[in-house]
Amino acid sequence: MNKTLFFLPLLLLGSFFATAAEVGQTAPACPAMLSGTNVPVDPSNYKGKVVLLDFWATWCPPCIKSMPFFNELHKELGKDGFEVVAVNLDEDRDTVSQFLAEHQVNYPIAFDPQGECPKIYDVKAMPSSYLLDKSGTVRKIHLGFHDGDQTLLREQIKTLLSQ
């Protein structure tokens, strides 16, 4: 009995911190604030939409390479219920503001200078993108941004939009 009382709180505590986003699980909220708001990134706010949650930084060449494509996707499929939400991981917001003045994006940017969201999502590469279905469930995780990813991502998004 005493062992049960000892281990039960540990198990409960462990499950509380086990929030890494995995395929098939509901995407967790994270404390990054959407630019110009006090609204955190919470996938439950996007129910009914397919969401590409992208983690990026100004110092990441593949992240920069992906931005024009994400702009294109957002413009092309936004009317169909698709949303890109990009979480920036730079520590200096002025650096990000200057970067965004030079690299226009047409989708929401959230700031996470403390790096809480990549811990919650267990981000393993830059960029990392999490494709969420209309119910907020993680359906695909993309690590990096490589040639050929554009075709694959577009197909996956269109499939989720049709469901």
- pLDDT by residue (tens digit) across 29-52? 999 999 988 899 999 999 999 999
Residue 63 lies in a domain: yes
Instruction: Report percent pLDDT > 90 for the chain.
Output: 79
Residue 84 lies in a domain: yes
pLDDT digits (tens, 9 = 90+) for 59-92: 999 999 999 999 999 999 999 999 999 999 988 8
Residue 3 lies in a domain: no
The tally of domains found in the chain comes to 1
Residue 4 lies in a domain: no
Q: Write the DSSP string, 74-116.
A: HHHHGGGTEEEEEEE--S-HHHHHHHHHHS--SS-EEE-TT-H
Q: Residue 98: which domain range?
A: 21-162
Tokens encoding 19 = 């929030």
Q: Whole-prediction pTM value?
A: 0.86
CATH number (domain holding residue 104): 3.40.30.10
Q: Are strands 30-34 and 50-56 parallel, antiparallel or unpaired?
A: unpaired
Residue 12 lies in a domain: no
